Chains A and B, each alone.
Chain A
Amino acid sequence: MVTQTATLPVQVAPISSGIVLPAFTLWWREIVRFYRQRSRVVGVIVSPLLFWLVIGAGFGTSFRAGNSPGQQHYLDYFYPGALIMIVLFTSIFAMMSLIEDRKEGFLLSVMVAPVPRSAIVLGKVLGGTTLAAIQGLIFLAFAPFVGVHLGIIDFLLVVFVVFLVSFALTSLGFAIAWPMDSTQAFHAIINLFLIPLWLLSGALFPLAGASGWLRLVMRLNPLTYGVEALRVLLYPESPTVLPLPASIGMLALFTIFMFGLCFFRVNRRTTRPAA
């Protein structure tokens, strides 16, 4: 046995494990957990399908007469909003896993690892983003049925917008879920806050037709820019309020802000237990 002197051994100081590997492994866990829970997989694939059938059957006939904005059929008008809604719910609910991780104790072992806090946020958020974006893209497969035929560039732009919206909303879900220890409280916030957010995003009625204060609220709503961007891409000839780069720019700003908020919340060390 090597005899040790009374001085502390000199430490080479590898302070952190980098950001990529921890973020990757947290992302990977999110995906593995997802596909091991069969009901969730079925839900992700079937729900856009079912949603589209029900909405299509209902709205398609009810709003046929005169009620359609512009010259568009209402069902066509509704399509981008429906896509955003699907992404919204999957993104936000994906972050319920954060509350479960906290309750089950898993989060503890992540918090005491020498991992940059940004990697924790990035891994978890990318996990939720992936699931939401996949679901959004499945819904996008119905686009030809509403008469949308996308070129390759436009398709890639749509994918990019869906990814951006998913990332922003998953970050929002993360920021909401972080301080919570019960999924009930999480549901309450979602109902109070997120459904109005979606209703006022231009998903149901156009921004152009809204009155003063409503118009302001819609302008401040980040989801509006997601819906607008998708509408411009899917229906280039329909009347829109904002040009594509402006919508994407606003979405990007919102994404950065939400991610920053998550990072701030996770990175702050206090005299209260972090997990």
Chain B
Amino acid sequence: MASKTPFAVASSETDLAVEPVIISVRDVVHRYGDRAALNGVSFDVRRAELFGLLGPNGSGKTTLFRILSTLMIPVGGRAEIMGFDVARDPNGLRRQIGVVFQAQSIDVKLTAAENLWHQGHLYGLHGASLKSRIAEMLGRVGLADRANEKAETFSGGMQRRLELAKGLLHHPSVLLLDEPTTGLDPGARRDLWQYLAILRDEERVTVIVTTHLMEEAERCDRLAILNQGKVVALGTPDDLKHEIGGDVIVLDAKNPDSLAERIRARFNLEAQVLHGQVRIERENGHRFITDVVEAFPGEIESISVSKPTLEDVFIRRTGHRFWTGGEDEAGK
């Protein structure tokens, strides 16, 4: 048995620390031409972890996904899955992984069963054992009664489940999913995440999933938050949120810059101006609210206090919001 590693102390209910490292990413660097996509990314994933790669568009998570799924080799650094190097031993690695792409990869002109039949052959499965495996997988994703219908007649959720069945057909030890819930309704989204948890718990499959959705990231065992090609935070969602220490207070004011300046001076704490709002991290936020409103009467238009979210973690680490779509606000 391995000794407990320090970073796993907080996750008391799991025994992640004793599980072997399945995926190891070390200083991975990637560029598309001159444009840097990954600037030295490192992390480990242990067996039966549900590991999230959270980041806004362009943060490098899809690049990392392509490297881990052997679609391209990184410019620098090393990445291994089950001891197989992504650059040097792609075929060994390919056998270990199941991949669910963001883009559709099933052939809609084929039936559900034919899609899996085809996939099985690519992995060297055939005959009666493939047939029973196909029946098993279709049953698991709830498509047994549609086995012989063409995939083009399926709903988006059903197609996604067929993708999942395709990725899992050959019993991979590692499942890689790229934004798997894109285009799914909330019900189908929830079903997918429940299924990922079942895979982890019952089959001990290691799952890496990329997402740009905070509420999905919350469901991961551990997370790497990516921004501009770097890991800006790594840990369990709870640990990451705890580091904020207390509550997040957001103030709307006519003149946020001067207000933030005076709050800093008066309360001796860090007050940030972000997109025209003053943002403060503080314990006992409910008490602080009364203090600050009394201190600056008439200047504060609205005030909110909330428990820290993963977005707050992102803001703390990067100094900007997760979505940079609100630039018009920032210009005020």
Q: Are A25 and B122 in contact (CB under 8 A)?
A: yes
Q: Are A25 and B121 in contact (CB under 8 A)?
A: yes
Mark B199-230 against chain A: 1 for CB-CB distance below 8 A, else 0.
00000000000000000000000000000000
The answer, among A13, A105, A114, for a CB contact under 8 Å with B103, is A105
The answer, among A28, A109, A114, for a CB contact under 8 Å with B91, is A114
Q: Is the CB of A15 closer than 8 A to any CB of chain B?
A: yes
List, in ascending order, chain A residues with CB within 8 A of B118's CB.
Answer: 25, 28-29
Q: How far is the CB of B50 from chain A (nearest CB, A)?
A: 17
Q: Are B104 and A104 in contact (CB under 8 A)?
A: yes
Q: Are B101 and A105 in contact (CB under 8 A)?
A: yes
Q: Are A7 and B101 in contact (CB under 8 A)?
A: no
Q: Are B101 and A113 in contact (CB under 8 A)?
A: no
Q: Are B73 and A112 in contact (CB under 8 A)?
A: no
Mark B1-43 against chain A: 1 for CB-CB distance below 8 A, else 0.
1100000000000000011101000000011100000000000
* Interface locus among B52-60, B107-115, B180-188, B260-268: B107-115
Q: Is the CB of A108 closer than 8 A to any CB of chain B?
A: yes
Q: Is the CB of A81 closer than 8 A to any CB of chain B?
A: no
Q: Could you tell me which residues of chain A, from 151 to 198, have a CB within 8 Å of some CB in chain B?
A: none
Mark A97-117 against chain B: 1 for CB-CB distance below 8 A, else 0.
000000011101111111100
* Interface locus among A42-50, A137-145, A246-254, A265-273: A265-273
Mark A110-126 against chain B: 1 for CB-CB distance below 8 A, else 0.
11111100000000000
CA distance A169 to B144 in the complex (A): 41
Considering only CB atoms, which chain A residue lies closest to B87 in the complex? A269
CA distance A9 to B30 in the complex (A): 30
The answer, among A6, A24, A105, for a CB contact under 8 Å with B2, is A6
* Interface majority SS (helix, strand, loop, mixed), chain A: loop
Considering only CB atoms, which chain A residue lies closest to B83 in the complex? A8
The answer, among B31, B82, B121, B123, for a CB contact under 8 Å with A8, is B82
CA distance A24 to B117 in the complex (A): 12
Q: Are B109 and A32 in contact (CB under 8 A)?
A: yes
Q: Interface size on B (CB < 8 Å)?
A: 47
CA distance A25 to B119 in the complex (A): 9
Contact (A274, B107) CB under 8 Å given A6-B1, A8-B20, A17-B123: no
List, in ascending order, chain A residues with CB within 8 A of B70's CB.
Answer: 111-112, 269
Q: Are A112 and B30 in contact (CB under 8 A)?
A: no
Contact (A22, B121) CB under 8 Å given A109-B101, A114-B91, A273-B71: yes
The answer, among A22, A29, A36, A108, for a CB contact under 8 Å with B71, is A108
Considering only CB atoms, which chain B residue lies closest to A14 in the complex? B95
Q: Is the CB of B106 closer than 8 A to any CB of chain A?
A: yes
Q: Are B20 and A4 in contact (CB under 8 A)?
A: yes
Q: Is the CB of A33 closer than 8 A to any CB of chain B?
A: yes
Considering only CB atoms, which chain A residue lies closest to B100 in the complex? A109
Q: Could you tell me which residues of chain B, from 58 to 107, have a CB within 8 Å of some CB in chain A?
A: 66, 69-75, 82-83, 87, 90-92, 94-97, 99, 101, 103-107
List, in ascending order, chain B residues with CB within 8 A of A24's CB.
Answer: 121
Q: How far is the CB of B256 from chain A (nearest CB, A)?
A: 43
Pick 18 A–B contacts, CB within 8 A, sort by A.
Answer: A4-B18, A4-B19, A5-B20, A6-B20, A11-B82, A11-B92, A17-B121, A29-B118, A105-B104, A109-B99, A109-B122, A114-B91, A114-B92, A114-B124, A269-B87, A271-B31, A271-B73, A275-B71
Q: Which 6 A-B pairs have the closest CB atoms?
A: A17-B124, A105-B103, A6-B2, A25-B121, A109-B105, A114-B94
A: which residues have CB within 8 A of B? Answer: 4-9, 11, 13-18, 21-22, 24-25, 28-29, 32-33, 36-37, 104-106, 108-115, 269-275
